[in-house]
Structure 1
């Protein structure tokens, strides 16, 4: 079984096989040659993995993010962030981090943030003195914040895989996400001071007020969505539906930047992306089922217990392992496969599963822009036109900054649990 569920997937990944086919091939080969099972079992688990009400939140938030990008809401948020920064050294880079954080509070999509920011800000960053590599690295890495700031698609999937409260996970991601943004912004300021990168003007109350008015309805969206969840007005799934309706109303009737045909086109794009996510969810549920029925989680827990690792040592090992895994797997696949295996071990060592979910999410968020296969790198490459090796150099310093943030969040659980304990 080891060769079919461990060696074979690695070979398929190295060959560039799509992730969902890697999972399905490993399970089918195991069922055919290692552990004969009726084919109907595969079908039942495959479709059963999608039979969860909470999964409806994913296409809703994907659609809301697509509406945001095509309606110009994201552009208004970028302008607002730039108006708020003022005379801070390297203000354009700081505004990039702030805008990414604001976009993440609406869509929860790292890829969408990189695409939206790259088209608008990359030429300005280069012209301001950041250089092509540093500008591309900043854009690719700032999108990682979007996976941590709620609402987060990755946290929805972790909540399902680990059977944890999604609202608590959302609340737990606020302070860690802000810490990541703050450390990235601080690093940008240091780089700007050392390299003589100027600010983009000064803070003017009149311009800031004008930008706030233009972005007002966009800024209200995360307040309504998250406020509704935390006050018990609706579930995360219902919040996703509300976000879609809100974005459509704002785009059609307030900003008037979209037509009905544009909304339908955005729905089609969201359906394609949601389908890509859901097929990974279904395939991952199959390989998780296979591992569970073979007693792999129990065997790993017994092995960990035999090593007598402390909670701190276990978390360090998990961080190293997930950082490596994140270089090759997207967060969706990694969470669905590894959360069911790792969460029972964490609980056995006395680690809060909500805190562990934040640690896991941040690891995989960093993997989104870590060479060689970080998805944000490829998105930034398509937007900026830079070769991959230039982007690898550009993201390097930001990997270091966010790994430092990860260590702080890992070993200071209060950052993740302080707000969630209020629910």
Structure 2
């Protein structure tokens, strides 16, 4: 490799800026602009091509709208109602509150679509509840919260799957419904592990909710539970586009929080808008940087070169997916998930399609890999977040994380080896892949 080539200089600049603390999106823009300057390319022409291409996609509008919906639902009493509902369903089982942690992540997934949002919102509340009066150790509670937060981006609506749809041209609707069974599988294996550990470590069981209370608790949580039904129903009946469905989700969240629950006021709405705008801007800058850098990658013909190299290895589709699993799990330990989706997956996708790997299956497998990477030592982003939330050492968290990683790896293997599990629901909805 020529370390003085324009591409090497661009990579070195991105790495150096990132190490200096510059946001990844800005670093990619800086490195890419340097590449274009050294190559003598017209920056104006490049910018025009980008603006007339992917960055003009209306699909991008779905991201801030999903974020706004999640922020509104988290700011009022909706989360408390959902917690009571989850406790009524699974709190009576061994490791009751730990089971509630997983179930609330499954339910909250219909609002956030982000692992970090889940951990910082409902996950933070669960950490306090689980460690109160010493019922669970801080290390176990933090490890479980990190592991259960991974479920959010697999189930719809999923921001990572929206980003994958953006770079792959795959249907958002089919991707959303394809993530349902893998997401439920992930929640199921985590709850199964908790049941086993609860018997072994004698975790407490929560008080049973009287049967007569169930209708009231369900009625209170029902409007919030209907959000994914409304969202997916509008998508698969063709009433709305993905972007319009995201707008409907935000409007529905505002309606039930203000009119039905009366749990937020004008000040809360303003704070939700500001918070959503901050997150959306950071994601938008990351997308902008990735699109510019992807242009550089295309000019360097890297996707075609990599495709030729992998074809020379004569890999089967399964062999390719296993190789991708290892690569993405490794990258997920060091890089932010959106960066991997926007920069790495467009390079791998042409080879996957050429080998006969279904793009919907590939997308779900890739996102599941990336999310597990968030909780994989030594640099998983969720691990560092949970050490701050739980105020524990990384060593203690990693020790408790090992059994969760084992069952999550098993779920990943099943999703990789059994494409029909991922594609079953999309095919019922009309997918021809």
Same fold (TM over 0.5): yes
Distance in 1, matches of 2:62 and 2:407, equals 31
**Contact 1:347–1:353 (Cα < 8 Å) also in 2:** yes
Q: Give the superposition deviation at 1:397.
A: 2.5
**Contact 2:62–2:244 (Cα < 8 Å) also in 1:** yes
Distance in 2, matches of 1:147 and 1:274, equals 16
Query: Which one of 55, 59, 66 corresponds to residue 60 of structure 2?
Result: 55
Q: Give the superposition deviation at 1:318.
A: 0.2
CA deviation vs aligned residue, 1:352-379 (integer Å, no higher than 9, x gap) = 0000000001011112222344332333
Distance in 2, matches of 1:108 and 1:252, equals 22
Q: How does 1:241-280 map to 2 (within 5 A)?
A: 241-280=247-286
Distance in 1, matches of 2:87 and 2:45, equals 54
In the alignment, does 2:346 pair up with 1:354? no
The number of residues matched between the two structures is 422
In the alignment, does 2:68 pair up with 1:70? no
In the alignment, does 2:225 pair up with 1:219? yes
Aligned residue in 1 for 2:183: 177
Query: Which one of 311, 319, 338 corresponds to residue 305 of structure 1?
Result: 311
In the alignment, does 2:104 pair up with 1:99? yes
Aligned residue in 2 for 1:166: 172
Aligned residue in 1 for 2:41: 37
CA deviation vs aligned residue, 1:285-323 (integer Å, no higher than 9, x gap) = 111111112211011111111111111111111000000
CA deviation vs aligned residue, 1:137-165 (integer Å, no higher than 9, x gap) = 11112111000001101111101101101
**Contact 1:94–1:188 (Cα < 8 Å) also in 2:** yes
Give unpaired runs (5+ residues) of structure 1.
none
Aligned residue in 1 for 2:381: 375
**Contact 1:27–1:287 (Cα < 8 Å) also in 2:** yes
Aligned residue in 1 for 2:406: 400
Query: Which one of 187, 202, 205 corresponds to residue 199 of structure 1?
Result: 205
Distance in 2, matches of 1:374 and 1:73, equals 30
SS in 1 for 2:56: coil
Q: TM-score if structure 1 supplies the norm length?
A: 0.95
**Contact 2:123–2:149 (Cα < 8 Å) also in 1:** no
Cα pair distance change 1:234/1:341, threshold 3 Å: same
CA deviation vs aligned residue, 1:328-362 (integer Å, no higher than 9, x gap) = 22221110112211111111111100000000010
Cα pair distance change 1:68/1:87, threshold 3 Å: same
CA RMSD of aligned residues (A): 1.8
**Contact 1:149–1:177 (Cα < 8 Å) also in 2:** yes
Q: TM-score if structure 2 supplies the norm length?
A: 0.93
Distance in 1, matches of 2:124 and 2:244, equals 31
Aligned residue in 2 for 1:83: 88
SS in 1 for 2:345: helix
SS in 1 for 2:125: helix
Q: Give the superposition deviation at 1:51.
A: 1.4
